[in-house]
Amino acid sequence: MGAARPTSPAPPGGALIPVLGQQWATQSRYLLRDDMTRVGREFDCDIVIPDRAISRRHAEFTWEGESLILTPLSETNATLVNGRVIDLPTQLRLDDTVEFSDARFGVKVYINPTSTSASTQRRTEMNRRVAAIVSADVKAYSEMMERDDVTTMHAITTSRARFNELSSEHGGRVVDAVGDSILLEFPSVSDALAATIAFQESTRRSSGAADRELDLPFRIGVNAGEIVTRRDGTVYGIAVNVAARIQSLAEPGHILVSQVAHDLAARLPEGYRFVDAGVRELRNISGSYRLYGLARLGEKEDPREPME
């Protein structure tokens, strides 16, 4: 490995691009953190690959100045760069291919603008804008993992891939996916609702008798507001927190929408309408929030009932 360059004030950015055909992948790209990005089978890893051939903590990516370093952590499962097994920290370059067992990535490294001005650096690293936020999770996920962790993790991975595909079709992206939770952002509420309704419908279609064991009833909260996006793609803001709190109030298989998102929705998918779900208090958030469910035209009024 070549000598690392001197440490710079702001490391370059980078992303891992799953090679086509990787069924475990839940995102079209995985942004690397500014410090260290860990890959493995454990849920506390930054990139989780639910495969027995992947070690619990398999490898990690770190920055040394402008150099991206890959360090293998597993003594039993191989890490490869361009088809060769590595045993020591290795500097990566643009368009390298990294493999962990059968999981394959292409590496994209790019240089971000830097400035000696602190204010310019902050503007480079953080972007403020308005977006629609979707928060989703599976109720009783811990109990499901305790009963059958392999089947549950397979179902979660499949659901994430489906949600990622549908969100991309509607201009959205997966911001974060840890355990059973998925956080997404969209350019508009209409896009967010189109993607979430399509996801819930696809989940119900895939929950026939033959694969009932893979049925994961997601509960989803939708909100809109100002968010702050960091250079690594992470989003923050009260709008994100509200979406998560709304999601916790939704029944499995359902979507709850904030008043703000309701008012901003220019359109709903054909055959759907809003149903008033009342005014609710959100945990650790001041004020009251009127919420809305979604129902098909001509069907039951109670948004807590399943959208059959």
Confidence at 6, pLDDT banded by 50, 70, 90: very low
Q: For the chain, give every residue range classified as CATH 3.30.70.1230.
A: 127-296
pLDDT digits (tens, 9 = 90+) for 68-85: 889 999 878 889 888 888
The rounded percent of the chain whose pLDDT value lies above 70 is: 78
- The pLDDT of residue 207 is 54
Of the spans 2-6, 161-165, 195-199, which averages the highest pLDDT?
195-199
Q: Where are the beta strands (DSSP E) in the chain?
A: 13-18, 30-31, 36-40, 47-48, 59-64, 67-72, 79-81, 84-85, 90-92, 97-100, 103-110, 126-138, 173-178, 181-186, 218-230, 235-236, 255-258, 272-282, 285-296
Q: Name the nearest CA neighbour of 32 among 233, 289, 269.
A: 233
Q: What is the rounded average pLDDT of the residues 263-267? A: 90
Find all residues with CB under 8 Å of 132, minimum gap 6, and list them.
185, 186, 187, 188, 189, 191, 192, 222, 223, 224, 261, 264
Question: What architecture is domain 127-296?
Answer: 2-Layer Sandwich (3.30)
- The pLDDT of residue 235 is 84
Tell me if residue 196 falls in helix, strand or coil. helix
Over 80: is that where the pLDDT of 218 sits?
Answer: yes
Over 80: is that where the pLDDT of 260 sits?
Answer: yes
- The pLDDT of residue 117 is 40
Q: For the chain, give every residue range classified as CATH 2.60.200.20.
A: 14-111
- The pLDDT of residue 123 is 42
In the numeric block, the tokens 């909260």 are attached to: 221
Distance, CA of 191 to CA of 306 (rounded, Å): 22
Over 80: is that where the pLDDT of 44 sits?
Answer: no
| Residue 23 near residue 165, CB atoms below 8 Å | no
Looking at residue 110, what DSSP letter applies? E
- What token pair was written down for 135? 């928060």
pLDDT digits (tens, 9 = 90+) for 89-144: 998 887 788 888 777 777 665 544 443 343 334 444 567 788 999 999 988 787 88
pLDDT digits (tens, 9 = 90+) for 152-177: 888 888 888 889 899 999 999 988 88
- Signed CA dihedral, 239, 245, 247, 251: sign only: negative
Between residues 308 and 277, the one the model is more confident about: 277
Over 80: is that where the pLDDT of 226 sits?
Answer: yes
Q: What is the rounded average pLDDT of the residues 290-306? A: 71
Which amino acid would we find at residue 128? Answer: R
Question: What architecture is domain 14-111?
Answer: Sandwich (2.60)
